[in-house]
Amino acid sequence: MDRKEFLIKTALCGGALAAATSPMKLFGGPSSAAKPKSPELKLSFQEGIAPGDSLEAKLDFMESLGIKGLEPGGGNLSSRVSELTSKLQGRDIKISAICAGFSGFLLSEDASVRKQCMDSMTEILEAAGALGARGVILVPAFNGQKPALPHTRETRNFLVEELHELGEIAAKFNTTVILEPLNRNEAHYLRQVADAASLCRDSKSSGIACMGDFWHMTAEETSDYGAFFSAGPYLKHVHIASRGNRIMPGEDGEVDNYIEGFRALKALNYDGYVSFECGTRGDRAETVTAAVNLLRKQWSEAKI
Ligand code: MG
């Protein structure tokens, strides 16, 4: 059944198609994760995190702190491939992931808006593959994006079909689409890491992955450990921020504890990046440095 036909039948038959997709498991779950070996903490910054007036100055600062990844936005990424490649040449910093930058959205009622999303994601995925990024971060629908398909089983089945299509495109470019669960204030549709992981499993494409963002997880998850562990091999990226105000880790004091989450990453032998996505209320050079030191300390304190 193609997507157009699916939508027509869904409108006519309501729940009749609810059982259309069987939850066949294509990949191993967390139990199949490799034996933990004490993975290193690989930190990454979005472009706005490091102080500096130019990308070169930011990269110099990052290298001085031992930061291993850069997470650029996806807007106009194809026009930046040579710039980013040349500026990273000779440095010990790689492109970690690409943060969104697409237009349209996958759960729009309007087929032309869904196509905008597919087309713009395809362009960003090609650039992401050329840059060696682990994936391009995607949110199926933000709260403000309307009109959206209703939050039903039929819509989930439809989303799985769309993700399969997009995942195969990503795989062709040797990268992935990384589903990001957000908190309820930003996106009620996909809020928990385990839900994103089940979409990965059901999409039946090696090009679909997921991530966890400690900021959103603070609001939505009951256990950092449980959330990350549930994603198992589908977990390809992590975002981090302080847990009270989304500023630098440590700026909110004692609530900025990531040890339980880090324990899960170690147990999974997670080999991806933990990438900063946050603001600051202090002097950036100082708060960023303090945050990096705090995270390294907590990583060493996280026991499997
Ligand atoms: Mg995030």
The dihedral over CA atoms of 224, 226, 231, 232, expressed in degrees to the nearest 10, equals 110
Going from the Cα of 287 to the center of ligand 1, the distance in angstroms, rounded, reads: 19
Going from the Cα of 11 to the center of ligand 1, the distance in angstroms, rounded, reads: 33
Going from the Cα of 271 to the center of ligand 1, the distance in angstroms, rounded, reads: 18
Going from the Cα of 14 to the center of ligand 1, the distance in angstroms, rounded, reads: 34
Angle CA(8)–CA(10)–CA(14) in degrees, nearest 5?
Answer: 140
| pLDDT for 38 | 80
Going from the Cα of 239 to the center of ligand 1, the distance in angstroms, rounded, reads: 5
Quote the CA–CA distance of 282 and 115 in Å, as a whole number.
42
Backbone φ, ψ for residue 231 (5° rounding): -80, -20
| pLDDT for 169 | 98
SS (H, E, C) 219-252: HHCCCHHHHHHHHHHHEEEEEECCCCCCCCCCCC
Going from the Cα of 252 to the center of ligand 1, the distance in angstroms, rounded, reads: 18
Going from the Cα of 8 to the center of ligand 1, the distance in angstroms, rounded, reads: 34
Going from the Cα of 277 to the center of ligand 1, the distance in angstroms, rounded, reads: 6
Going from the Cα of 163 to the center of ligand 1, the distance in angstroms, rounded, reads: 19
Q: Between the CA of residue 248 and those of 162, 215, 289, 298, what are the distances in Å?
A: 35, 11, 10, 15
Quote the CA–CA distance of 188 and 181 in Å, as a whole number.
9
Going from the Cα of 12 to the center of ligand 1, the distance in angstroms, rounded, reads: 37
Going from the Cα of 180 to the center of ligand 1, the distance in angstroms, rounded, reads: 7
Going from the Cα of 278 to the center of ligand 1, the distance in angstroms, rounded, reads: 9
Q: Which residues of the chain have pLDDT under 70?
A: 1-37
Going from the Cα of 279 to the center of ligand 1, the distance in angstroms, rounded, reads: 12
| pLDDT for 35 | 53
Going from the Cα of 164 to the center of ligand 1, the distance in angstroms, rounded, reads: 22
Going from the Cα of 292 to the center of ligand 1, the distance in angstroms, rounded, reads: 18
Are the CB atoms for 217 and 242 separated by under 8 Å?
A: no
Going from the Cα of 262 to the center of ligand 1, the distance in angstroms, rounded, reads: 17
Determine the straight-line distance between the first and last CA of the chain, rounded to whole angstroms: 46
| pLDDT for 122 | 98
Going from the Cα of 9 to the center of ligand 1, the distance in angstroms, rounded, reads: 35
Going from the Cα of 222 to the center of ligand 1, the distance in angstroms, rounded, reads: 18
Going from the Cα of 181 to the center of ligand 1, the distance in angstroms, rounded, reads: 8
Going from the Cα of 142 to the center of ligand 1, the distance in angstroms, rounded, reads: 13
Helix crossing, 224-231 with 259-267: angle to 10°?
20
Going from the Cα of 245 to the center of ligand 1, the distance in angstroms, rounded, reads: 14
Continuous segment of H or E residues that includes residue 6: helix 3-13
Strand 136-138 to 43-46 pairing: unpaired
